Amino acid sequence: MHIVSVTLTAYEEFAVREGRDADHPDTRREFSRHVVRALPDESLAWPPPRNGPCWCDSGRKYKKCCGAPARN
């Protein structure tokens, strides 16, 4: 799974360009594949590796930030 930040406008433009119905699940799936191929430097693998930087841009390692187990 990859995470990519895109806009609704980009999705709508993709649907029009490809001649697809924007509300159809297949269009969303194809758009996701298109974005990951078109913007490889902007996509993040999910989940991040334990020692990799956290996806929330805190500057901390994933395991010490969002990947840390909840503490009771």
For the segment 19-44, the average pLDDT, to the nearest whole number, is: 82
Burial of 61 (0-12, 13-18, 19+ CB in 10 A): middle
Q: What is the pLDDT, as a whole number, of residue 72? A: 41
d(CA 55, CA 43): 11
> What's the mean pLDDT when you consider all of the chain?
81
SS3 state of residue 61: strand
Question: Pairing between strand 44-45 and 2-3?
Answer: antiparallel
Among 29-33, 53-57, 58-62, 66-70, which is the least confidently predicted range? 66-70
Among 9-13, 32-36, 60-64, which is the least confidently predicted range? 32-36
